[in-house]
Amino acid sequence: MGKMTLVATVSLACLLCTATIALAADPGTEDPNNWPQYNRTTNAWRYSPLDQVNKENVSKLSVAWIAHGGDITMGIQETPLAIDGVIYSITSGDRVAALDGKTGRELWSYEPKLDPLVKKVLFAPYSRGVAVGHGMVFIGTVDGRGIALDQKTGKQMWETHLTDFANCHGCNFTSPPVIAGDVLTFGSTAGELATQGKIFGVDAKTGKKLWEFNTIKDDPHSWPGESGKYGGGGAWMPGTYDADTDTVFYGTGNPGKDFINSERAGDNLYTDSIVALDPKTGQLKWYRQEIKQDVWDYDSPYEVMLFKKDDKNLIVHMNKSGYVFVLDKNDGKIENIWPISDVKNFVKDIDKRTGELIGRVELPMNQETLICPSTFGGRSWNSGAYNPKSGLWYNNVLDFCGYLKPVAQKDDPKDYGTGHTGSNDFGRLVLAPDGRKPGRLDARDPFTGERKWTYEMDVPGFASALTTGGGLVFNGDPLGMLRAFDADTGKVLWSFNTGSGMRSGIISYAVDGEQYILVPSGWGSYAALLLPPLFPQLEKVPAASTLIAFKLAK
Amino acid sequence: MTRGFVMVAVVVILIGDVAFSEENIPNLKDPTMIAAGHDLFLGKQCAHCHGADGRGGINLTRRVLDPKGVFQSIADGREKSGLRMPAWRGVLSDDEIWQATAYVLSISQQSK
């Protein structure tokens, strides 16, 4: 190597070092020690590159600390964040806390005074996470506000009322906002509510509302007559911000009334879709509807994963139907569609080029119709995890069905506790007709759906998975068992009884050279209310709201 | 109209309005009340968690329940063992909450 080449190489290396350090200062970058946003990185992979805990030593994991999260109502559903050795956590009632990542000691906490109406609405009082950036911790509240806290002290910096909480059937926020540069985007609940779901853009520094995007398109062809007035939609899980194209991607919720489509005989845009928005203006760049005129409650608010493959920029995204859409990131063009399970009868098939649903099963009024998958979906809202080393995407598959029975229902956005569903319930749950196990953890190629391994369960998983650079997959089940799998083979390498079921997101982070696995444990949510008839084992699962951190025993 | 007549009329209206207040338990075994309560039970989607026949995830048929406790749970909501039921006071009238109470008691252990 010549002298000049050496100098140039060193200079380039230093430049890269500088760039890496600069990037690592902000959440959403690739600092392996941190878990800085809901799905860890902007590609939404839920992959931690940390490899101190690996296949050879995972059996030596032991408890480092345990912290009580707070109120146990509806369990603990969050994915906590870990930034520079501090854990940021949100639990029931929108209680936020910062904890020392080495000890679990609480550094500060914050609990907003919530609107008393929260006690009447359908979706409360749980939250699935916080966002951290600009020296602040941001939350969306269950009474429809955006709130910013000082990252170091927990002191409230600003609050903004975003949803018309009392007049929108209690539409609110149960997930964190997305940080898109200087803008925060908040997606509201709306499926099952007599309202029109919105995505809001807010100035991160001041809290000023910049724009709102209506997930119900103002178009009589899409929504004949008055049918769009209470069309639902919304975006109740976090989106993905792509800095390369300055785009925020959201998956949207289902149309209402859920099980009656006779009054909304259009395609019902932009429900059950991916929408690509300009975060500065809220302008729609493109959309891809995955379930047209949904009548089975197959929302699409799940994680929007980003990939580069064969010089293509791709999105991989699943909706509740269990169909996975592989799309061109730039325009939403379909590259492939594959099913996560063959337990499905709501359509005969799907056109893998156009996405057209073939052979739809409609729901006659006042009669039960068996629909697979159930309203819980082929997978619940909890994210999967993709490991770039194995090339596999790990998901908790739900292989059970439900009988749906539409009944007439009045529109009433003040009837807070009643879902705008056109039914008396969310469906009578039953096992799959072929009698197979009702759940499994699947490892599949995210682009083709080819399955590498599967782990069957008597009670399906309802937690977000974690995969790591140590070649591991961590997954928790509703009965409380946390398991570590070999990411390549599916072999169970370690397990631990956390004492309550998991409905949350497992993360990994490192402080002072030690890797931690952090597991929120505390069974709750609507799953805890609705599943026991099908899974009687769940009746005796104790509630909790606990954060359990593991590390290797010394 | 005399002042006395107005007073009587007001009292009659008030009594009519609060005939089934929270403190004034109506006849909960009245089949009409139970039937109206069943309609509310279905229409307000109590079946989500309790099942169409009360044998859902939160099974009411195994429980020993008392009228005021059921009324209060429906009116003010319930948070126990990590589970949550929304509050219905203000959405349902006291009369309607008593009707729903009558139905719940009709399928609970106490009435058998």
The ipTM value here is 0.87
Q: What is the mean pLDDT of residues A145-165?
A: 98
| Residue B16's pLDDT band (cuts 50, 70, 90) | very low
Is the pLDDT confidence value at B95 over 70? yes
Residue B58 at interface with chain A, using a CB cutoff of 8 Å = yes
Boundaries of every domain in chain B: 3-111
Instruction: Identify the closest residue of chain A to B92 by CA–CA distance.
Output: A415
- Residue A125: phi and psi, rounded to 5, are -100, 30
Q: Spell out which residues of chain A touch residue B84, defining contact as CB-CB under 8 Å.
A: 73-74, 124-125
> Residue B15: pLDDT band by 50, 70, 90 thresholds?
very low
* Residue (of A394, A529, A533) closest to A461 by Cα position: A394
Write the pLDDT tens digit of every residue in A354-363.
999 999 999 9
Residue B20 confidence (pLDDT): 60
Domain for residue A506, yes or no?
yes
Buried b (16+ CB within 10 A) or exposed e, A364-393: eeeeebbbbbbbbbbbbbbbbbbbeebebb
Is pLDDT at A83 greater than 90 in this prediction?
Answer: yes
Condensed to tens digits (0 to 9), the pLDDT of residues A285-325 reads: 999 999 999 999 999 999 999 999 999 999 999 999 999 99
Q: Does domain B3-111 have CATH number 1.10.3720.10?
A: no
Percent of chain A exceeding pLDDT 70 equals 95
Pick B3 or A505 by higher pLDDT: A505
Tell me how many residue pairs between chain A and chain B have CB atoms under 8 A apart.
89
Chain B neighbors of A121, CB-CB under 8 A: 86
In a domain, A193, yes or no: no
> Does A331 or A554 have the greater pLDDT score?
A331
User: Average of pLDDT values for A343-372?
Assistant: 97
How far, in Å, CA of A47 to CA of A294, rounded? 32
Please state, as a whole number, how many other Cβ atoms lie within 10 Å of the Cβ of residue A453. 20
Chain B, residues 2-31, CB within 8 A of chain A, namely none
pLDDT at A342 over 70: yes
- What is the token pair recorded at A432? 């799959």
> Which pLDDT does position B62 carry in this prediction?
87
Q: Are A380 and A373 in contact (CB under 8 A)?
A: no
- Residue range A71-83: average pLDDT? 97
Q: Which amino acid is at A438?
A: P
- Half-sphere exposure of A142 toward its Cβ, with a 13 Å CA cutoff? 27
* Degrees, nearest 5: CA angle B98-B99-B100: 90
Mean pLDDT, to the nearest integer, of A476-492?
98
Confidence of residue B109 (pLDDT cuts 50, 70, 90): confident
Amino acid occupying residue A231: G
Return mean pLDDT, chain A: 94
Find the mean pLDDT for residues A459-466.
Answer: 98
Shortest Cα–Cα distance, B68 to chain A (Å):
20
Closest Cα to residue A463, out of A406, A507, A419? A507
Q: Give the pLDDT of residue A462.
A: 98
Residues of chain A with C-beta less than 8 angstroms from the C-beta of B76: 119
Average the pLDDT over B87-101 and give the result: 96
**How far, in Å, CA of B50 to CA of A92, rounded?**
23
Q: Above 70 in pLDDT, residue A436?
A: yes
Strand pairing class (A47-48; A209-214): unpaired
Q: pLDDT by residue (tens digit) across A315-326?
A: 999 999 999 999
Report whether pLDDT(A409) > 50. yes
Per-residue pLDDT, A29: 57
From B49, B82, B87, residue closest to A120, measured CB to CB: B87
* Residue A2: pLDDT over 90: no
A239 has pLDDT over 80 = yes
Please report the residues numbered 21 through 80 in chain A whose beta carbons come closer than 8 angstroms to any beta carbon of chain B. 72-75
Active site residues of A: 297
pLDDT digits (tens, 9 = 90+) for B46-69: 998 998 889 888 999 988 899 999
Domain count, chain A: 1
Rounded to a whole number of angstroms, the distance from the CA of B9 to the nearest CA of chain A is 32
Measured in whole angstroms, how far is the alpha carbon of residue A464 from the centre of its chain? 8
The CA distance from A258 to A417, in Å, is 16
Report chain A residues whose CB lies below 8 A from the CB of B42.
407, 424
Q: Which of residues 103-132 of A touch B (CB under 8 A)?
A: 119-122, 124-125
Q: How far is CA A448 from the centre of its chain?
A: 22
Q: Where are the alpha helices (DSSP H) in A422-532?
A: 525-530
pLDDT for A5 equals 36
Determine whether the interchain pair B91/A73 forms a contact, defined as Cβ–Cβ distance below 8 Å. no
- Nearest chain A residue to B47 by CA distance is A425
- Report whether pLDDT(A1) > 60: no
Of A119, A530, A543, the CB nearest to B49: A530
CB contacts of B83 in chain A (<8 Å) are: 73-74, 524, 528-529, 543
Banded pLDDT at A111 (limits 50, 70, 90): very high
Q: Which domain holds residue A523?
A: 40-79+455-460+464-554
pLDDT at position A407 over 70:
yes
Residues of chain A neighbouring B79 (CB-CB closer than 8 A): 73
Q: What are phi and psi of A219, to 5 degrees?
A: -155, 115
Peptide bond into A542 cis (omega under 30): no
The predicted pLDDT at position A11 comes to 37
Is residue A10 scored above 50 in pLDDT? no
Q: Out of A150-159, A444-453, B14-23, pick the least confident.
A: B14-23
Interface residue of B39, B40, B44, B45 to substitute, partner A, most A CBs within 10 Å: B45
Cβ(A292)–Cβ(A222) below 8 Å: no
Binned at pLDDT 50, 70 and 90, residue B24 comes out as: confident
